[in-house]
Amino acid sequence: MNTPLKHFRFFRHLILLLLTALATQSSSVRADPREMISENCKGYRAENRRWVAESQLPIPKGSQVDASPVAGRTDQVTLKWEGVYYAVPVRCLKEGGSVTAVAPASGGVLPSAKNVSAFARGKQPALEKKSFFRIETGLLSWQETATLQSPDSRSVALRSSNFGALLGFGYQRVLSRHFELHGLASVVYGSSELGNSTESAGSDLQYLVSGVTTLGGLAEASFLWMPTDPDVALGVGVPVLVRSADWAEPSGYTLNSRFAMAPGAFLEGRMTRGHWVIFSRFGMLSGIGNVAWNLSAAYQW
Amino acid sequence: MKHGWGNLGIFRGLMLLTWVVAGSGPEAHAYPSSIGLGYGSCATCHYNTNGNGPLTDYGRALFATAYAAKPWISALGKTDEELGAKSGFLGSVELPSFLRPYAGFRGMYLVSDLGGDASSSRFIPMDAHAGLTLKFFKDRVYLSGSLALAPSTSVAADGSLVRKTVLVTREHQFTVRPWKFLDVSAGFSDITYGIRVPEHNSWIRSLTGLDQRDQTHGVIVHLSTAELDFNVHGFLGNLFQESGLRQAGVSVSGEFEPLERIRFGASFLTSGSEFRNRTLGAIHARVGFLEGSSLLAQFGVNREDPIDDGLEAYVGDSLFLQSTFGLARGWNLLFTFEHAVRDFGSGAMLLRAGPSLQYFPMQRVELRMDLTSTRTSGTTLVDPDILGLQTQIHLAL
């Protein structure tokens, strides 16, 4: 029977193996944390959030270096030497040991700064590209208030619930390794219901419609913070919804909010996988108490 | 409110204090969203191959070294290696390899109708359990079971609600693993169906009879490879219940991973008792992003056939979307969106959404705060969304 200690050693090895697999993503490169550097190696040096080409790495031939796989790449690794990060082809590492490039290393292809930055999170990621555009679509839900006024000037507060979809165009500007700005302009198509709430259920003015089409646009500017990784961010947004709802107006009565502009505030999260982005937003539109939320998927380039 | 747990003010204080003084470290996660860390299969960390229940030794070590933040208390370990070595039930004290005890507690401080006229708050001790897993023959045979104290609500003769604490079991299973790709379990467990989210009040669980008290006796055959999990679960219902109430049937579920950290699944369930027949079908997806972030999605259609003259069958649906943002090790921000229609014929639709903050300050401890906004549409009144705030503490010893 195995002793618990042996169990733990086994699990420890398993953890290291799995963590390496995680770091490599779909990469088929296995790399030991410390490896030997070969001679005549060209690469990139991480400097001030950019990768600068190096015709000759300043790492002495045969040195022991920390080598780590680059997420999603089979042909590149990052090296750490005297506190500086270098991105180099896998072939720079001496063969043998536990480092093997299962897929053929593409000679001479230097790392994409974006991929290396994803790996070197929290350290010296390169921000190769600062601007991104996207097409975004998602679900949107919000509530509003409206007022129905009778011919004799009596009025009752109504509430509307809206649920629909948005389709829009977005822009992302990376300000630094930790901050970014977003803009979104979209069209909104939804279905709404409008009626008395429990609060006004006793009123002698009663109104209820449902399944009414709502058309409009949602624009938003947001400021997001990337705590550790460029692919995950959260922050706040300021949306403005402009919409028109074709709520029936009884003869002689007035509905004050068939057309409305509703500013608000969102707590917002973004996560990115390659070209695909997920946005989650939760907050309020058209005043406190009117909850709004959105879940969107986007394709960015 | 009086209940059987004595003065729980200390728990409230602990939760508030922890939220106030909490620190942070680098990256981590839990539950089905752990696909964001590359763990697609539940069997990696749980003895129950479909998740939930006691953690394996590996699951404990992973909880300590990847999910939870590095603890403030240095005695618990400074390096991940030390944290893993101390992740056992008794810390670093070695237990015989066949013996794996576990225990846990989950409590919630609930504020309902936040800011509304009917606002109220109370602490709910949701679960306190202790159990044991025995494993033999090079981990090819498992025996696992637990007992739990759980809240129960009943209606007294005068119509008032009576809340009390009852002793229940939520799991006892005998599992044989003849080959690495096959597990056969017999006993009492959750039904295998869809994504097993920890939010038992989510409509994909509460409207489908898959709630936290809906375990059943049965046999599960689980096939797994690196890219595939497949389950057939034949069940007889809860044998602790009266025979007429037992919902017996079969569920079939599977999940396929065509690309790393992307899993698609489908589930089907049919069951019946003297009171109702139930048919469920669902599709789901789990997508992992870098750094433990993930997206979970499940859409299902539910049909209930009450076996009673005058009652008609009804069909509804439920949609669950949850995005998890791994902010730092031990810290997650979640956004959950839900939609449900219990009966298409009624026209009433439920919507719920809200953000959650999840924090694992150290292995064995989870703190979570959920803000939810719930809406009912399609009725005769259009009411404001009902806001709720839930603060949970979860101890997994």
d(C-alpha B59, C-alpha B62), whole Å: 5
Show residues of chain A in contact with B327, CB under 8 Å. 227-228, 232, 234
All domains in chain B, ordered by first residue: 9-124+196-210+241-396 (2.40.160)
Residue A38 and residue A153 share a domain: no
Nearest to A160 among B27, B327, B382 (CB): B382
Q: What is the DSSP string of B139-183?
A: TTEEEEEEEEEEEEEEE-TTS-EEEEEEEEEEEEEEEEEEETTEE
- Asked whether residue A47 falls in the same domain as residue A96, the answer is yes
Q: Is the minimum CB–CB distance between B377 and chain A shorter than 8 Å?
A: yes
Distance, in Å, from the CA atom of B356 to the CA atom of A269, rounded to the nearest integer, reads 12
Does A208 contact B382 at a Cβ distance shorter than 8 Å? yes
Pick out chain B residues at pLDDT < 70.
1-30, 75, 290-291
* CB atoms B58 and A289 under 8 Å: no
Q: Which residues of B touch A281 (CB under 8 A)?
A: 335
Distance from CA of B269 to the nearest CA of A (A): 29
**CB contact B73 to A (< 8 Å):** no
In a domain, A288, yes or no: yes
Q: Are B295 and B321 in contact (CB under 8 A)?
A: yes
Give pLDDT tens digits for B361-391: 888 999 999 999 999 988 888 888 888 899 9
Residue with tokens 């309020």: A284
Q: What is the CATH number of the domain that holds A256?
A: 2.40.160.20
Same-domain status, A86 and A74: yes
Q: CA nearest B306: which of B272, B277, B271? A: B277
Strand partners, A96: A99
| pTM, rounded to two decimals | 0.76
CA distance A44 to B85: 39
Return d(Cα A46, Cα A53) in angstroms, integer: 9
Interface of B with A in 182-241 (CB under 8 A): none
Of A239, A145, A155, A137, the C-alpha closest to A192 is A145
Residue A63 within any structural domain of the chain: yes
HEC profile of B316-362:
EEEEEEEEEEEEECCEEEEEEEEEEECCCCCCCEEEEEEEEEEEEEE
Instruction: Report the C-alpha dihedral over residues B133, B139, B143, B149, rounded to 10 degrees.
Output: 30
Clarify whether residues A117 and A180 are in a common domain.
no
Is A65 within a domain?
yes
| Contacts made by residues B115-123, CB under 8 angstroms, sequence distance 24+ | B115/A289, B115/B387, B116/B384, B116/B386, B116/B387, B122/B1, B123/B1, B123/B8, B123/B11, B123/B12
Q: Which of B33, B56, B290 to mutate to test the interface with A (most CBs of A within 10 A)?
A: B290
pLDDT of residue B319: 95
Q: Is residue A199 part of a domain?
A: yes
Domain co-membership, A152 together with A295: yes
List the beta bridge partners of residue A238: A221
Please tell me whether residues A102 and A159 are part of one structural domain.
Answer: no
SS3 content of chain B, % helix, strand, coil (to 5): 15, 55, 35
Q: Residue B390 is encoded by which pair of tokens? A: 């839930």
Nearest to A11 among B57, B328, B380 (CB): B57
Q: Is A121 a member of any domain? A: yes
Question: How far is residue A97's CA from residue A20's CA, in Å, rounded to a whole number?
Answer: 15
Which of the listed residues A127, A142, A161 is the one where a domain comes to its end? Answer: A127
B92 interface with A at CB cutoff 8 Å: no
Q: What is the pLDDT of residue B282?
A: 97
Structural domain of A45: 34-127
Q: How far apart are CA B41 and CA B257, in angstroms?
A: 10
Beta strand spans in B72-119 (E): 99-112
Query: Domain count of chain A?
Result: 2
Q: Which of A96, A127, A158 is the last residue of a domain?
A: A127
pLDDT at B189: 92
Residues A167 and A209 in one domain: yes
> Starting from the edge strand earliest in sequence, which strands make up the sheet with A34-36, in order?
A34-36, A64-69, A76-81, A84-89, A43-47, A50-54
Structural element, H or E, at residue A156: strand A155-174
What kind and span of H or E run contains B206? helix B203-206
User: Distance from B274 to chain A by nearest Cα, in Å?
Assistant: 38
CB neighbour burial string for A171-204, b if at least 16 within 10 angstroms, e if fewer: ebebeebeebebebebebebbbbbbbeeebeeee
Residue B308 contacts by C-beta under 8 Å, 6 or more apart in sequence?
Answer: B275
CA distance B371 to B388: 6
Question: Do the Cβ atoms of B380 and A229 come within 8 Å?
Answer: no
Residue A5 covered by a domain: no
Domain boundary among A93, A111, A127: A127
- Interface subset of B 308-327, CB within 8 angstroms of A: 321, 323, 325-327
pLDDT score, position A99: 38
Q: Tokens for A62? A: 């045969």
Please tell me whether residues A237 and A253 are part of one structural domain: yes
Q: Does B126 touch chain A (CB under 8 A)?
A: no
Q: List the single residue in B with minimal CA-CA distance to A267.
A: B355
**Burial of residue B127 (number of CB atoms within 10 Å: 0-12, 13-18, 19+):** buried
Distant-in-sequence contacts of A58-67, Cβ < 8 A, 24+ apart: A59/A86, A61/A37, A62/A36, A62/A37, A62/A94, A63/A36, A63/A37, A64/A34, A64/A35, A64/A36, A65/A34, A65/A35, A65/A36, A65/A37, A66/A33, A66/A34, A67/A31, A67/A32, A67/A33, A67/A34, A67/A35, A67/A93, A67/A99
A223, β-bridge pairs: A181, A236
Contact (CB<8Å) A194/B26: no
Q: Say whether B22 sits in a helix, a strand or coil.
A: coil
Burial of B244: CB neighbours in 10 Å, binned 0-12, 13-18, 19+: exposed
Task: Find the CB nearest A282 among B295, B326, B354.
Answer: B354
Same domain, A87 and A205: no
Interface test with A, best of B333, B335, B338 (most A CBs within 10 A): B335
Tell me, what's the pLDDT at B6? 39
Q: Please tell me if residue B382 touches chain A, with a CB cutoff of 8 Å.
A: yes
B27 chain-A contacts, CB cut-off 8 A: 228
Tokens describing residue A150 = 């009778």
Segments of chain A scoring below 50 in pLDDT: 1-3, 5, 20-30, 48-49, 96-111, 113, 115, 117-127
Q: What is the DSSP string of B245-271?
A: G--EEEEEEEEEEEETTEEEEEEEEEE
Distance CA B219, CA B222 (A): 10
B309 φ, ψ to 5°?
-60, 135
Which residue blocks in chain A are alpha helix, DSSP H? 4-24, 113-119
Closest CA to A215 of A158, A258, A157: A258
**Rounded distance, CA A43 to CA A52, Å?**
8
In the prediction, which pLDDT does A14 show?
Answer: 54
pLDDT at site B141: 93
One domain, residues A102 and A225:
no
Q: Are B327 and A18 an interchain contact pair (Cβ–Cβ within 8 Å)?
A: no
d(CA B370, CA B86): 30
The whole-angstrom separation of Cα B105 and Cα B126 is 8
In a domain, A176, yes or no: yes
Domain annotation covers residue A20: no
Q: Do A112 and A242 belong to one domain? A: no
What letter would DSSP give residue A288?
T
Answer yes or no: do A143 and A216 share one domain.
yes
ipTM of the complex: 0.78
